[in-house]
Amino acid sequence: MSALDQVLTSPAARALTLALTRITMAGLLFWWGLVKGLNTGVGPAVSEGFYGGAFGGALLIAFGWVQVLAALSLALGLARGVLLPFQLIVNLSTLAVTAAWVIDPFWLWMPGESPRATGYLFYPSAIVAVVSLLLIAFCHEDRYALDHVVFGKRSAAA
């Protein structure tokens, strides 16, 4: 193993990689939540187009602000044991409804025309779901998360 490999696979490098992964995922969740919470019109349009309007109005705005708070907590590494599994369930639910757009985001080989012009927006949901799984699986190595620093390894997900 080269010296570079030893540095890049060291416990400190793994912990830093997990922290950066957690923070960047939280950043995406933050922006998704902000779009819903500020009622920019994008959130309601997506809810109407893909979910039949089931998550419109005040419910969507409230969920957006909850998502913003959850994202900030995840960025800091707090409450991972609750938030990561919850985030995974939310993403898997979204993926169940939007699977066709995740499989073919630009509708290049699916039959017929795409019923939605913005289907490509759902591909990041697959990435967030996989990142949630990764962060749950390796939570004990995410030693820069505040819940790990303050409460120890047992407070994290798993």
Q: What is the DSSP string of 84-140?
A: HHHHHHHHHHHHHHHHHHHHSTT-SSSSS--S-TTGGGGHHHHHHHHHHHHHHHTGG
pLDDT for the residue numbered 30 = 96
Supply the angle between the helices 42-51 and 11-37 in degrees, to the nearest 10: 90
Q: Which two tokens stand for residue 84?
A: 């990561």
Q: Which two tokens stand for residue 41?
A: 């019109």
Q: Which residue's entry shows tokens 């950043």? A: 27
This model's pTM is above 0.85: no
How is the chain split into domains, by residue range? Answer: 13-155
Mean pLDDT of the chain: 85
Q: Which two tokens stand for residue 27?
A: 């950043």
| Cα(7)–Cα(4) distance, integer angstroms | 5
pLDDT for the residue numbered 151 = 83
Position with higher pLDDT, 107 vs 157? 107
Q: Which two tokens stand for residue 144?
A: 């820069």
pLDDT for the residue numbered 115 = 62
Q: How confident is the model at residue 158 (pLDDT cuts 50, 70, 90)?
A: very low
Query: pLDDT tens, 12-65?
Result: 999 999 999 999 999 999 998 998 899 877 777 777 766 666 677 788 888 899
